[in-house]
Structure 1
């Protein structure tokens, strides 16, 4: 387990090349699961677990790491599998999503794997565990299920999608009413959050579950002869998605003369200066950490200001 995340600097070079690295692990059975390495802070043996009264049923308790108290979430139970029983030999994965840090109880960590996003496919339709997956991949004849962690966290601590009255009162938003946006995200929870915010602004939302589908839709509109800047107020895209990530999507938009002037916002649960650097590298116009309705409105107002400089 030691050293499993030692080469993060090398991995940052993968982003923008439509590549990622996943951390594979098991829960209560033989099935392999994974999350993106960039969400992972560390992997370690369970520290002393403290039980908390009135905790959510998916939360085993809390641990203290370097002065920070973190909830420990039973990931197996959270995605509908049988609960795990934590003990001093248990393994936890400490992650950061949407500006919050938490630990996930897992059965054991396998290894890190470098993949192309084209090898990451949308999950098959159907009931059951697919409800908690954003994607799947095949590794040495084994199916790896990539978990929709945003959905798991939203069920434990739901995020508000309500825009404050103060933000809604901004007169600049009158210029947004009736406009259209393209939302690109593989998480059903994130997509619903975005659509809710847009509805409050009377903005019409088109949606795509990955970068490749979004690019095909954009090119289809352009093929119809539509002026893309008139058509869309902006494109709001997640970073990590099956088949084509948000960084590559932005690069492809900038490389198409018909699309290159679109306003593109990177909207991701990945946080920190790394993403700000990637925004500049691939040519995004703005960056926003999930999920902050008021700040999303600020970004929309910044975009509107470009068309209404004297407002």
Structure 2
């Protein structure tokens, strides 16, 4: 718990710890340590018939059956050979309310970084679709994996609100309302946008907290009628430049923005979330990604929205 608490404080100060690991081509990649349960040598794998090629099997890890994903194959790189699998490592992680293992060639170390040092990935690279960001560590680039994108490709995610929940949440969003959505994952942004679209809610998208905050300040300065349309802000926690905690803190410090309803929506799991939500002043936390749960929380925000809206032309 002391380890969890220390990493909680990092997140609250726009910092993170990355576990650095290597794949087949020796390129270094990173994953947030808070999402990592443990790193182990590859256990005995049992084949899964008709599974995606990147699913190398399932394994019994401390009494739990866990899916093992070949991370190189999942992002379009070479599939790990059977001989390499025997010498490989598995990073056991918890994302989106599930536990899974990522098969990697090597594990390096943990580094402590500021999110300000983490930048969006360059376009045009072979793996750019599976990256959320890059960071420079020891004069070399470390690529941070977009896990939501991998899950969408390998496992698939449901984005449709169930019929009974949709009936409960329909009609709450007026045409004047908009939601500002901040997430560094393209897949995650689209998942949220598609869910809100089913509720009749228009979205404005941002790729990190700074972009979202700059948008809100611009509206406050130049288009107060646009700011009045903002029914809520939905933000990821992990983002380059400015994370979701820092974004929420900045919103609460600005008198023009402090009344905005803020939902933190993240694949980060753990008991720390509720405390951090309260500390930074967010209204709600919700774990990724379940369309029904998101719809219910958004509906709550819409029901509590003040009824005075600027008339749109």
Asked if the contact 1:58/1:77 (under 8 Å) is kept, the reply is: yes
Kindly provide the CA deviation profile for residues 128-170 of structure 1, in whole angstroms up to 9, marking residues without a partner as x: 1111100001111100000101111111111111112212222
The structure-2 alpha-carbon separation of the partners of 1:110 and 1:150, relative to structure 1 and needing over 3 Å to count, comes to: same
Please state whether the residue corresponding to 1:151 is helix, strand or coil: helix
State the Cα distance separating 1:272 from its structure 2 match: 2.5
Runs of 4+ in 1 over 6 A off after TM superposition: none
Q: Which residue of 1 aligns with 2:97?
A: 99
Kindly provide the CA deviation profile for residues 249-302 of structure 1, in whole angstroms up to 9, marking residues without a partner as x: 000000000000000000001123211111011010011111111111111221
Aligned residue-pair number = 304
Q: Please list every run of 5 or more consecutive structure 2 residues that lacks an aligned counterpart in the other structure.
A: 308-313
State the Cα distance separating 1:126 from its structure 2 match: 1.3
> Is residue 74 of structure 2 the alignment partner of residue 84 of structure 1?
no
Please state whether the residue corresponding to 1:145 is helix, strand or coil: strand
The structure-2 alpha-carbon separation of the partners of 1:261 and 1:6, relative to structure 1 and needing over 3 Å to count, comes to: closer
Q: Kindly report the root-mean-square deviation, in angstroms, between the aligned alpha carbons of the 2 structures.
A: 1.7
What's the TM-score once normalised by structure 2's chain length?
Answer: 0.93
Q: Distance in 2 between matches of 1:229 and 1:26?
A: 44
Asked if the contact 2:17/2:110 (under 8 Å) is kept, the reply is: yes
Asked if the contact 1:228/1:259 (under 8 Å) is kept, the reply is: no
Asked if the contact 1:210/1:241 (under 8 Å) is kept, the reply is: yes
The counterpart of 1:58, out of the listed 27, 31, 54, is 54
Q: Please list every run of 5 or more consecutive structure 1 residues that lacks an aligned counterpart in the other structure.
A: none
The structure-2 alpha-carbon separation of the partners of 1:208 and 1:307, relative to structure 1 and needing over 3 Å to count, comes to: closer
Q: Distance in 1 between matches of 2:167 and 2:51?
A: 38
Q: Which residue of 2 aligns with 1:215?
A: 213
Please state whether the residue corresponding to 1:124 is helix, strand or coil: coil
Q: Which residue of 2 aligns with 1:289?
A: 287
1:172-187 matches, within 5 Å, as 173-178=170-175, 179-187=177-185
> Is residue 33 of structure 2 the alignment partner of residue 12 of structure 1?
no
Asked if the contact 1:136/1:143 (under 8 Å) is kept, the reply is: yes
What's the TM-score once normalised by structure 1's chain length?
Answer: 0.94
